[in-house]
Amino acid sequence: MNLEFYRSKLEKAGVSFASGLTAQEVQQAEQSYGISFPPDLLEFLMFASPVSSGWTDWRKVDDPEIWRMLNWLYEGICFDIEHDVFWPLAWGSKPSSITEVFAIARQWVDEAPKLIPVFGHRYLPSRPNAAGNPVFSVYQTDIIYYGADLWNYLENEFYYYFQTPQYHLKEPLRRIEFWSEIVESNC
């Protein structure tokens, strides 16, 4: 991928960059947050690390904001469960106890591929640990694909600067366990 091209377009969009992450910084971030950067995100972050508002600064080990973004996924699902708009059939009968309901949701979210915050409420799955995972826009259980991969996502998010259509998903889209099922249930 032409990383300089993407950096240049993002800089025109007002994104500021710091130097790319070092191997040691990557290892610290992955260990701290229990994630594994897929190869395309890793390549991007090691080339140049976006540091503007809304971007995740992976140099900030144990940053409360990153922890908030990681926990926000579960909290958003619980909000929709509590307000009776979300309970997948695959989870079985919904218990009457809110404590039990939240425990079931926690188990499903914990077993799902971790979503790595990229920018705002856009997330890239950590599994499979391969290039080409889709980027999800996540707001509670209102989850959609926002890019077929990291590069398509950047083109969608900053379409004006890439001179691409406002929202175009490249095909094919890789299905991601759990998260794609929520997307499909929203269709």
- Domain segments of the chain: what residues? 3-186
Q: Is the pLDDT of residue 187 over 80?
A: no
* pTM of the entire predicted model: 0.94
DSSP percent split of the chain into helix, strand, coil, nearest 5:
45, 15, 40
The whole-number average pLDDT for the span 38-52 is 98
The proportion of the chain whose per-residue pLDDT surpasses 70, expressed as a percent, equals: 99
Q: Which residue has the tokens 């218990």?
A: 95
Taking residues 57-86, report their average pLDDT: 94
Is the distance from CB of 102 to CB of 74 less than 8 angstroms? no
pLDDT at site 85: 82
Tokens of 32: 């701290």
For the chain, the average pLDDT equals 95
Residue 17 confidence class, pLDDT cut points 50, 70, 90: very high
Residue 141 has pLDDT above 80, yes or no: yes
